[in-house]
Each structure stands twice: as structure tokens, then as C-alpha cells.
A and B are shown apart, each in its own frame.
Chain A
Amino acid sequence: MEFTVALAQIRPKLGCLSDNLAIIEASVTQAIESGADLVIFPELSLTGYFLKDLVPEVALRIDSPEIAKLRVLSRRISIAVGFVEESADYRFFNSAIYLEDGEIRHRHRKVYLPTYGLFDEQRYLACGDRFRAFDTRFGRFGMLVCEDMWHLSASYTLAMDGATTILCLSSSPGRGVASDDGLGSAQAWQRLTSTTAMFLSCRVLFCNRVGYEDGVNFWGGSEIVRPGGDSTVRAKLLEEELITARVDDGELRRERIFAPLLRDENLELTIRELRRIEEERRSAHV
């Protein structure tokens, strides 16, 4: 299977659902025109990031008209997009949905909500409770939101569940400007996406937003990373851009023949050891 991916490195407006929906629709059109089969947006692309008390104001039910609009668009191109999801029991999640052929194929609720340094997500949001791979017309995918990716177990679980492509929707703040280096957070993320792709012999499609909120910049640098760990294409730093790249299965196949790491992975042993660790921790707390 060969297909074209578009990464829409957009600049959402903080708390402006209708404006952001318009930005997303325009990018979808642009992606279709550039021949893409799949377009990926950043984390919270429908709302902006530092929402704080705006969370309940911008939250959408999964059956809302805004999401219905995106479902219609997904008849022409597959879409991964981020928003604040309101559940039936009035919890709010930092969610990403994957839409294809007019349907929601998968919903991922961000599991790891950072609440350190400049982050404050768990004050306002509820944690997701699962990592699940899912089938698409391009093969088996896994979807993560920003901080999830920094937990090895998240991408590991998706790969064990059969994902050969990992989508990561991000709103990553730019920081670290030491001499002779690029942007600190950009370098850290590039190491992370590359290493994840290598360890799990999978593709990583990383879409990060741009723009500023209250003086914090979001650095962009969205990229498509090959299963070998090098990046096929990388978007600009700090500027809006839509980039596309052709992706083919041959590469994935060759990588998995070259190094059959996943074939050889001993899942049963891993589970056994993790159980032991969990039991030891529990008995230590008695």
C-alpha cells in the first residue's frame, strides 16, 4: 500500500472553535489538492492549547455538529484531529479522533496529562485509560497525543497491538536556546521520534502546531519519520506550513526483514516481569 500523508502545521486561535474549524477545513482542501490521502492536525487543533477555564466552553460531544462536519470531509480524505471532548458524564478529555470514509474510526483520549513546569493539563482534564491500535485503509495505526509519546510504554503497546504507523498530534512549546544548538525541545523531539521509529520498526507521523499563546511559542517542525529512524520530510520551525510525503510499505517490509525486532520481542516475558514488579510494589506498600 502506497499513500500520501499531509501534515497540517497550523496556528489555531485560542478558544475560537468556529475560526479553527475554518482553518482546518481550508487545510483539508489544500491537502486534497496536493494529492494527499490522509491529513494530520496538531493536538487540540480545534481549540488552542492553554485553555485553562475555557475547557468546558470549547468542549464538544463526539456527536456534535462540528465533528459531523469533519466526518463529511473524511469521505474525501482521512483526517486526524485534536479537540476537547466532553463525555456523557461531564468529564473533559484531550482527545484525538481519526476519521475515514465518513466515520470515526478511532478515538484516543490523551493518557498522560502533563502537570509540571509550564503544563497544567490535569487540573482541567481527565486522563484517558487505554492505548489501542486500529485498522485504517492504510494499514494498522496507533494514535498518541504529545506527552503520551514520552512514555515508552505507550508506543510499545501500540506496536505490540500491531500498529505499523504511529500518529502523534502535538502542541509542543519551544524552549531551550543554548548556543550552537537548535531549539532544545525540537532536538529532544527529533531524538524521540527517530528512536521510537527505530525501536518499533514503524513510521512516525508527527504533527506539531505553531503560533504563540501568552508569549509561549509552539515550534512546529512536524515530520514524517521512516521506520529506520531518519526523517523523510520536516516542516519549518515556527511557521505555518502544510507538508506532504509519499509513504510506501516496501520500506517498512525491508526494515522488518533487516531487523525483525518485533518478531523476536518476548511479550509473555515482558508481561511476567511487569506483573512481578507490580506485585513487589504492592507488597512494599502494605
Chain B
Amino acid sequence: MTGLSINAALVRRILVGFLAEEVHKVGLKRAVLGLSGGIDSALVAYLAAEALGPENVQAIIMPYKQSNPESEAHARLVAEQLGIEHCVIGITPMVDAYFEMFPDADSMRRGNKMARERMTILFDHSAARGALVLGTSNKTELLLGYGTLYGDMASALNPIGDLYKTQIWQLSEEMGVPREVIDKKPSADLWAGQTDEQELGFTYKAVDELLYQMVDLRKSRSELLAAGFEAAFIDKIYAKVQNSHFKRRLPVIAKVSNRTIDRDFRYSRDWGK
């Protein structure tokens, strides 16, 4: 675990500075985020309130009728503790209206639709309020592809996308995220009793350790075996990272000209900022 333990005070400084600078330099001062009641969005809310001031952070709580009521309670707890503006916008009417046309849709389709419904609400508020949408995907789920493309993976700025889940826990302790939010089992909250670790089939602790050694340390398969990881686990995770890579890239453009966007037309996003 040594490689995964972070200097939380230092990371806090870097991420708070990141949010303040990246919001202010595009001429804005506000941010909006979806609060699920989980630890990732709670942590982002804490970072944003510190970076921009609680008066400049707006949280939107977007439950579906099957969401665990505890989730909404935890989201409210976070918003109230921070003193940030928050409101509840249920997504049941729009999601249900759509699936009336497709009653046979499975839970994955339904979950994706919910995630994208939330995204459209956040971007609508972004435009209405001049606020940047903050992403709440951590490094573990981004690498595994455990998220919805253009849903929860969509944002303007993501302060926590380079932190593994186990590091999210450490930074949340540092920031004073409520104990009940830190201690509960991570869940996408798409159906009752769902937990991430059950659905994934491994613990965050185990997969973070493997991802850290595989990705950050670039250890080879034989080195990972020597480090004590199971062959089946290594191969399964490697395949997940590989097969979800499309989710971490822009859509593929068919090249015909001399300067194709992102291929040989290359600029930083902060161009002129």
C-alpha cells in the first residue's frame, strides 16, 4: 500500500489550486456538480467549496425512484455541512417516459440513461448559471471504464481523476467529509443493495494496488505475478483497461485533410488562458 498512500495535505493544495485557477481563468467563478451521496462527489464538493467559496458552488441532487433514500440524505448532509446551494431534481419522469417505449430494456441501459439524464441537467445549469460542470470520476473507475460515456464521465473539469479510490478515502479524511459518507460501501445506486465491489467482483483495495503497479509503475505481467497477483486477476484487469480505452478518448475522426482535429491540429485546452 505504500505507493498508494498520499500526502493528503499536499494533494489538497494542488487540487484546490487547480479548481480555482481553471475556473477563474476562463472568466467564470462558479461551479456546478451532481451530488450522489457517495464519497467521490462529496469530496469534489469539499474541494470546490474551498477553492471557489461555498457561495459559488451549486450542488444538484438527482435521485431516481429506486435510488436509496439514504443517498439523498447523505447528499443533503454534505451540502448543508458545506453551506453550498443545493436542490433536488428527480429524474424519474424523464427516464420512465423514455423506457415506456422500451419496456424490455435491461438494467445497464437504464443505468446509462439515468447517468446521461443527470448530465443534461448539469450542463443545462452550467449554461443557466455560468458555472463549470465538475467531474467526479476517480482514477480507478476511469481506468476500468466503470462509468457512463457522456454520462457521469462528462464534465468540464475533474479534480479527482488522477486519484485511485483508496486515495479518495485518504483525501476525504483530510478534508473532513462526513464519517458516514466515508464509511459506507461504494455504490452506483442503480438498484437496491447494489455495491460496486460486488458488481465488479473484486475490492477497490485489491484492484487499486494492481492498477498502481501496472499503470503507474509499468510493471510487466511477469513482475506482477512475482509481486503475488493472480494471473486471472491480472489478465482480467488488463483487458478491462484496454477495452474501455475508447471511453477515455475523443470520438474517432476520419482523416482527409492536412490538419485534422487532435491529430495534427494540436492545442492545449487552456490556449490563450
A residues near B, CB below 8 A? Answer: 13-16, 50-54, 174, 177-183, 211-215, 217, 237-238
A-B contact pairs, 17 of them (CB 8 A): A13-B25, A13-B272, A14-B273, A50-B270, A52-B268, A53-B266, A53-B267, A54-B268, A174-B14, A178-B3, A178-B7, A179-B6, A181-B7, A183-B10, A212-B21, A212-B270, A217-B14
Residue of A whose beta carbon sits closest to that of B15: A217
Q: Are A182's CB and B270's CB within 8 A? A: no
Nearest-CB residue, chain B, relative to A183: B10
Proximity bits, B258-272, A CB within 8 Å = 1, else 0: 000000011111111
CB interface residues, B 1-31, toward A, < 8 Å: 2-3, 5-7, 10-11, 13-14, 17-18, 21-22, 25
A25 to chain B, nearest CB (A): 20
Chain B residues packing against A (C-beta within 8 Å): 2-3, 5-7, 10-11, 13-14, 17-18, 21-22, 25, 157, 265-273
Partner of B14 from the list A14, A54, A177, A181 (CB cut-off 8 Å) is: A177
Residue of B nearest to A19 (CB): B272
**B contacts with A: majority SS:** mixed
Give the A-B pair count, Cβ closer than 8 A: 64
**B22, A212: Cβ atoms under 8 Å?**
yes
Chain A residues, CB < 8 A from B3: 178
Contact A54 B6 (CB under 8 A): no
| Given A177-B10, A179-B7: A50 and B22 interface contact (C-beta under 8 Å) | no
- Which of these, B5, B11, B157, B266, contacts A52 with CB under 8 Å? B266
Distance between B164 CB and nearest chain A CB, rounded to angstroms: 12
A19 vs B267: C-alpha distance in the bound complex, in angstroms? 19
Please tell me if the beta carbons of B7 and A212 are within 8 angstroms of each other in the complex.
Answer: no
**Closest CB-CB distance, A52 to chain B, in whole Å?**
4
CB–CB A217/B18 < 8 A: yes
**Contacts of B7 on A, CB cut-off 8 Å?**
177-182
Given A52-B266, A53-B267, A182-B10 in contact, is the A217-B17 Cβ separation under 8 Å? yes
CB distance from B110 to the nearest CB of A (A): 33
Min distance, Cβ B222 to any Cβ of chain A, angstroms:
24
Given contacts A179-B7, A212-B22, 5 further A-B contacts (CB under 8 A): A53-B266, A177-B14, A213-B268, A214-B269, A217-B18
Which chain B positions have C-beta within 8 A of A179?
2, 5-7
Q: Which 9 A-B pairs have the closest CB atoms?
A: A179-B5, A52-B266, A50-B268, A212-B21, A214-B268, A53-B266, A177-B6, A14-B270, A213-B270
- Complex CA distance for A215 and B270, rounded to whole angstroms: 9
- Nearest Cβ in chain A — how far from B150, in angstroms? 20
Does A16 contact B10, Cβ atoms closer than 8 Å? no
Q: Which residues does chain B contribute within 8 Å of A180, judged by CB atoms? A: 7
Q: How far is the CA of A183 from the CA of B269 in the complex (A)?
A: 25
Question: Cα distance A174–B2 when bound, in Å?
Answer: 20
